[in-house]
Amino acid sequence: MEFFRNPNIDFLGKKWYFLAFSLIFSVAGILSMLFWHGIPLGVDFRGGTLVYVKFSHTPDDNAIRASMDRAGLHNARIQRYGTPAGNEVLIDVSEQETNEQALDRSKTQIINALETNAPAGKQDLNNASLLTIKNYLLQKDSLHLGTDADQRYGAQAQEIRHAEAFELCEYGRRPSPDELQRIFPK
């Protein structure tokens, strides 16, 4: 199959036209970023919290935005990602403070705004930071560690990866000492 017979195109003879065309659009793009739209900065450069949320139903962006406004997060960016059937949303909240407590507070605000039937007074340890898990374990002190509690629970909070540990604490049932030993071996 032959598309062209004897193609003889002088690309190098037209190089100045191509360079001028490319230069015009490059300068227009740079001027647009500098004077009109600004350079879009990600959360890495401006600070803040990214929360990936998966819904069981098709998410309504306006309802999510209204929930964020009610929670006091007025400039949240809401963006769908993945396949439409995945029902996944990325929520981006700008935060001036970048320490772990401030970021955890923002994440907790987002989760609380989206949860409509969460049990009152229960922490969602599935969405908690290591610091929150450590503080929760220190508060409960189920192993009765006393003075060694801070160091031991800090290490345990880093090791918690198993869903069973979250479920035992999340639903408020106090685990038995045997369950604690199985989840947190010495």
**By percentage, how much of the chain surpasses pLDDT 90?**
10
Model pLDDT, residue 164: 42
Given a cut of 50, the residues of the chain with pLDDT beneath it are 161-172
Residue type for position 25: F
Model pLDDT, residue 44: 65
The model carries a pTM of 0.46
Q: How many CA atoms lie within 13 A of 184 on its CB side?
A: 21
**Distance between CA atoms of 173 and 167, rounded to whole angstroms?**
9
Model pLDDT, residue 52: 81
Give the dihedral of Cα atoms 137, 155, 108, 102; nearest 10 deg. 120
Give the contacts of 48 (CB within 8 A, at least 6 positions apart): 92, 93, 94, 95, 103, 106
**Residue 125 in contact with residue 166, Cβ under 8 Å?**
yes
Residue 62, φ and ψ in degrees, nearest 5? -65, -40
Q: In the chain, helix, strand, coil percent, each to 5?
A: 55, 10, 35
Residue type for position 74: H
